[in-house]
Amino acid sequence: MRILRIIYFEIKQLYSKWFLAILITVLAIYTLTSFGIGSSNPRLILYNLNYLIIILLILYLSTSFAVVRPMIDVVFTTQVNPVEYYIARAIATGFMYPIAMIMITIPTVRPGLDLAYYVATLLLLLGFLILFTANIQLIPWRNKILLAIPILAVIILGYLRPEFSPLYGLVRPGPIYVIYALALLILSIATIPRRRIRELATNAYGVLGEQPSITLRRLGARPIGLPRTPWRIIWATSTTNLTFMMNSPQGSRAVSMRINIFIILLPLTTSFAIAYCIAALLIHGTGAQVFLSVFSFYIIYLLLYVFSASTISYERLWLSLSIDPTRYFRYRMGARTLITAIALLPWITAYALQGMHFRPAIYLAMALVSTVMMAPALSWLVAAYAGQPQVRELQIMQRPMTYSLRALLILLFILITMSIYMTPYALALLTVYYPGLATLWTISTALTAVILIASAAFLYYAVVSERSRGIWAWLVNRLSEVGYV
């Protein structure tokens, strides 16, 4: 079948053999060690599955459907139905769903009728998650949030009332959850943006027809008019890096408008931080406070690296070579650090306020301060190491991002750094459960000071010091290797 060949083609583009081999090996080890837990405590298996699905959904929610040049070539040069290609690409993109869901939940499977219910629920949920994540990547942000928040809320509710989560049907199979999963699959099929898919199939380059009206003035848009000094140019291009391509009915013409990212970032981060503060004040119990603080920090940390690393795709290498590359990247990282500090200030404040009645949370505020000083530079370095593809003319990505051994190493690096930042919080949390270990407060404070000093030293080295020449020379060479121009 043609759709199977397309899926195979897309999987070969997206995943390396080493990536799949290591992923399957790690999940297989988890499966073998979970057989005893699966029969005695299936809810623990459900909690692990909930966490994985929530992380994947949020990561997909934070990205858009990548229109890559090979995809346009396939759709334009063959007689492929665009919806068929969309479904095939969605299956290939969500290829990690079946691997992870099967290996995490297989320890809870029991023979008999439950096995049939399990298989039916698994297949229906896989269809729902694969299509749903592809849909929310393609639709506009407003519809994306309206569609994703209810699904995320239901899955998060599974931590409090597991039976409300559709994933509960994988650890306690039954006919109700088969119907539940079927309803979700129907929802995902009904929300496939067919009109948008057909438009991409005929107008992926955005040069045909009339562009829908955009209220650019409300977003702080302005025509391009850059300053003259290097720092002011870099600051302007760093804080206004969203570009709309518009056309007229009489013919194609590209009009670049730059949108001030603070008008988008600040209301978004502030509103979520305020909601977090309200939730932290309303909930009671140490366990609920721990879950709320840890889960929110994980999400912030991961999304920060995802967003920050993805911006390197819009970098133009010739810009960095038009002046001294070291000076250019030092200015760029300085601007990105200031933007990150302003964007995360509401969350730093939120954790500090939570620390007034739940003391360990203050260490998460300090962890975010350290993250602000390191993540902007590190995210570009790891993105270059992974081979993040460049987005060139007409906002078209040159090739899909490949999940390789480098990607796994970067993920491991991010998890290690996150664990280091959270170590003072973990030590402080031990003193909450075991008051006799009061000396851990002093250790947590000292370790926080060490992490802050190390982060400040890295910021000075990367942004201020001339000795960072070697780092930025490597970055320029690496971007040249992966095809940046």
Interval 84-101: pLDDT, tens: 888 888 888 888 888 888
Tokens of 67: 């229109």
Task: State the number of CA atoms in the 13 A half-sphere of 369 facing the CB.
Answer: 18
- Residue 315 belongs to some domain of the structure: yes
Query: Could you tell me which residues come within 8 angstroms of residue 346 by beta carbon, excluding any fewer than 6 positions away?
Result: 266, 269, 270, 272, 273, 274
- Based on the domain organization, do 192 and 275 belong to the same domain? no
Whether residues 164 and 271 fall in one domain? no
User: Considering the domain boundaries, does residue 212 fall inside one?
Assistant: no
Q: Residues 472, 329: contact at Cβ < 8 Å?
A: yes
- 290 and 141 within one domain: no
If asked whether residues 271 and 377 sit together in one domain, one would say yes
Same domain for 153 and 18: yes
Is residue 191 within 8 Å of residue 144, measured between CB atoms? no
- How many helices and strands (H and E) does the chain possess? 19, 3
Neighbouring-strand partners of residue 448 = none
Would the pTM count as exceeding 0.75?
yes
The pLDDT, as a whole number, for residue 369 is 96
Q: Is the dihedral of CA 313, 318, 320, 321 positive or negative?
A: positive
Structure confidence at residue 248 (pLDDT): 36
Where does 139-218 have alpha helices with state H? 141-157, 175-190, 194-203
- Which H or E element spans position 221? none
Q: How many domains does the chain have?
A: 2
Look at residue 246 in the predicted model and tell me its pLDDT. Answer: 42
- What pLDDT does 447 receive? 95
Q: What pLDDT does 218 receive? A: 46
Q: For residue 236, give both structure tokens.
A: 């302007």
194 and 234 together in one domain = no
Q: Judge if 307 and 431 occupy the same domain.
A: yes
Nearest to 50 by CA among 129, 146, 135, 114: 129
Q: Are 87 and 131 in contact (CB under 8 A)?
A: yes
Interacting residues of 312 by C-beta distance below 8 A, sequence separation 6+: 379, 380, 383, 384, 388, 479
Q: Distance between CA 106 and CA 390 in Å, rounded?
A: 40
| Pair of tokens at residue 85 | 């290609």
Domain range holding 277?
229-238+256-481
For the chain, residues with pLDDT lower than 70 are: 35-40, 62-67, 69-78, 141-142, 201-228, 241-259, 318-322, 393-396
110 domain-assigned: yes
115 lies in the same domain as 263: no
Give yes or no for a contact between 210 and 153, defined as CB atoms under 8 angstroms apart: no
